[in-house]
Structure 1
């Protein structure tokens, strides 16, 4: 059986890097698309054991020409692909009166439009026209804090785009999304920005599961959704938040 090949956007740090390394450990070829050269260099340096199975491409996923070029590089190296994990995301949180239209479009471009682009230009290379796409949404698609309108809108769009793509690409290509809640990624950032977040007991206990989430929690769901065990699952959203969005809160 041929080695599976996965595309991971935003895969050089944070949740994306944990997903990428997990897939490498499972024997996949992994292509990391990321716009941060510093993070890419650290990913390569720290994972030399996978040098034959990893391809890193500096890519602004919101730019069509760069996605087209990335698809060319991927197919030259691996010919075909099996999985796309659309993880890249940014946030620009400002009051609506202060957020520029350019900033709004940048967030929508990286977080949402990039999924349209990767699907458009990578899905024709799915092996035997079969594959799996996983999009990273967020619980912010369904609940918000002040001044997160661009981020929340982009994540809500991912939720809708996911079930639309599932209808358009099925039955051979499955499409699902994951909505992480509070995930502590502080120890998985590039070294220049890495700072262990100090989590209080209250931070953990406000989750019915008893703790804040980790990137490994998300990687485990990715692994399941990519597997044959999930072959009847498409068009769905999976909330991974330790039950936090289901908890009723009262002021005592």
Structure 2
């Protein structure tokens, strides 16, 4: 897929899945704006992409703050003159008993993971609607929106909210030709893949643990202009784990 002439913003783009998404868009010819609170890593990634002849820049952004989201979109548009894609990837987690989770911790997760998706999508759409063919937004949710482990309430609520917000925005933005979809990753290893155990891979029907590039390729697919019939949906990318019945003998 060729994304030459397209402009993509990736939040949480300095590390992990976001880094893979930003890198793959750049490799496919897109002009990439990396947004993150990790300034050193964000600058390093943008520099590394530019050294390879790619077009990339880093904009330090705390997605919990609406004014910084507004600034991000403005800088991207003023730099490149257009905006086509937004990948809402920034997120945090808190694994803590619901008896002990504080109001501040709850709000931090919800503001980072969910509230930011609404405001980033809204501000990006204001620029996307200027394009003749609109644009595309991809929200990174999680299989934890569909199933849970103990002590994951804030994270699960934020990711479940993303799924509902995705189809709501898809309907609201339809008149401006802006498609909105979600991806729910399962186990995506962002650390040392070589240290995974055989049992880690074997428990997946696909036979392996996921990689960040698995999610990045799906983002390219959902954003490509030829796939303009896909909107308001959620794609689960988990190696089949959420379809596997597990019994304890």
TM-score, normalized by length of structure 1?
A: 0.92
Q: Deviations over 1:202-229 (max 9, x none)?
A: 1111100000001111111111111133
Q: Deviations over 1:34-69 (max 9, x none)?
A: 011132133134333257611211110110111112
Alpha-carbon contact 1:44-1:51 (below 8 Å) kept:
no
Count of residues in correspondence between the two structures? 244
Aligned positions of 1:69-80 closer than 5 A: 69-80=71-82
Contact 2:184-2:234 at 8 Å conserved across structures: yes
Instruction: Give, in whole Å, the separation in 2 of the partners of 1:147 and 1:2.
Output: 44
| C-alpha distance in structure 2 between counterparts of 1:52 and 1:247, whole Å | 41
3-state DSSP of counterpart to 1:56: strand
Q: Which residue of 2 aligns with 1:248?
A: 245
Q: Which runs of 5+ in 2 are unaligned?
A: none
Alignment of structure 1 residues 1-252 onto 2, 5 Å: 3-49=5-51, 53-126=55-128, 127-128=131-132, 130-171=134-175, 172-187=177-192, 198-252=195-249
Structure 1 runs of 4+ with >3 Å offset: none
Contact 2:179 2:232 in 1 (8 A): yes
SS at match of 2:139: strand
5+ long unaligned stretches in structure 1: 188-195
1:186 alignment partner, SS class? coil
Q: Distance in 1 between matches of 2:70 and 2:46?
A: 23
Question: SS of the residue aligned with 1:128?
Answer: coil
**1:167-214 residue CA offsets vs partner (Å, 9 max, x unmatched):** 100141111000000001114xxxxxxxx5721111111100000001
Distance 1:231 1:132 in 2: 9
CA RMSD of aligned residues (A): 1.6
Shift of 1:122: 1.6
What is the CA–CA distance in structure 2 between the aligned matches of 1:139 and 1:115, rounded to whole Å? 17
How high is the TM-score relative to the length of structure 2?
A: 0.93
> Secondary structure in 1 aligned to 2:9?
strand
Check conservation: 1:24, 1:50, Cα contact below 8 A: no
Counterpart Cα distance in 2 of 1:44 and 1:177: 25
Deviation at 1:139, TM superposition (A): 0.0
Structure 1 residues 38, 197: CA separation in 2 closer, same or farther (over 3 Å shift)? farther
Contact 2:16 2:212 in 1 (8 A): yes
Whether the aligned pair in 2 keeps the contact of 1:184 and 1:197 (CA below 8 Å) is: no
Secondary structure of 2:195's counterpart equals coil
